[in-house]
Amino acid sequence: MDILKYTEKHKEFRKRLRDFIKKEVMPHADEWEKNKIVPKSVWRKLGENGFLCMSVAPEYGGMGGDFLYSVIVAEEMAKTNQTGLITMLHSDVVVPYIDTFGSEEIKKKYLPDCVTGECITAIAMTEPGAGSDLAGMTTTAVEQDGEVIINGSKTFISNGINCDIVIVVARDPSVGNAYQAISLYIVESGTPGFSRGRQLEKMGLHSQDTAELFFTNCRIPAINRLGEKGSGFYMLMDKLQQERLATSIGAIVKAEYILDATMNYCRNTLVSGRPITKSQAVQFALVEMSTEVKIGRIFVDKLIADHMEKKNIIIETSMAKYWTTEMVRRVADRCLDLFGDFGIFEECPIVRGWRDVRVMSIFAGTNEIMKNIAAKFMGF
């Protein structure tokens, strides 16, 4: 029995999305990889067709849909073999901070454009000297006279070039407790004192615009703070469950895509007049990988269902994030071997995916951090 229950509306949504992807994404995926960025116009087309921020309430322009719509988008986007349109980052990681913690004024100002794709979002946590350790961040935010003055730098920021707004995680230097000093602020593109550095060259994720961001006496209205001052760390903890679940979903669907492409290749490639799949070694490899992927799919689907029921699954999502992202690396590596000499060429259907999945064990909190979190909540 299927764990997730898709309605006819979900199925119709998936069909519309597949049609959109066939027309607007697939013909351009290789071009985006070459150019190392996705045109902002594509984000607007996604929004116009209702494929962004599906959980946002109708009063702010959204459809008020459940999390299964996000799962559908993640699954279908994974099959496009490009990473520039990281819709889950926008719709299910960044925008929920605004939707949950923003004032009514903030919601009315930003959410409608986030839904339509007119406003592309990013979140800036990582710093050159502080990655998964939020307590070590040095970017400061000083509030005075109705304004906030931000100073510092961020790096490895996805959507860093394209973003129209960025949620900046910064600390009040006057507060001694590192966690109680953290707040979240919305900074608009074009704000004086906010500048973008170089677009970073990466091993994979070539069509994703990853950049350095700099803040030099960057002044924003104090109303652009999300929630109460000093509550940023708790906001991050509240939303990281969904972020890590989103990462796990991405890992599973990528593993499924890579494995499916590999099985098709092995079925249709002949060696000595016989398909590669007639080799027992190849059969065993495909069965073993299929088993891992199916185990991961069942685990993640159960977590999706639990998350939709608003259960506390911090331990389980931490486990899933580390296990699925390591599993997809194993699958991608082993599948590449099955392609033989063809596996060294760019036209091999999984070479891009093999590169792209390597970073998944690092972002959204390294896998070592995931194990630390699980151990802590398990009382070890």
Which sequence positions are flagged as catalytic? 243
CA–CA gap between residue 295 and residue 316 (Å, rounded): 14
Best CA proximity match to 86, nearest among 162, 166, 188: 162
**Dihedral of alpha carbons 354, 362, 124, 201, sign:** negative
Secondary structure (3-state) at 23: helix
Secondary structure (3-state) at 160: coil
Residues with Cβ within 8 Å of residue 186, at least 6 apart in sequence: 98, 102, 106, 110, 165, 166, 167, 168, 220, 224, 226
Best CA proximity match to 171, nearest among 203, 211, 143, 199: 143
* Encoded tokens for 137: 């961040």
Looking only at the bridges linking them, the beta strands covering 210-221 and 147-158 are: antiparallel
Neighbours of 1 (CB within 10 A): 3
Element of type H or E holding 188: strand 182-188
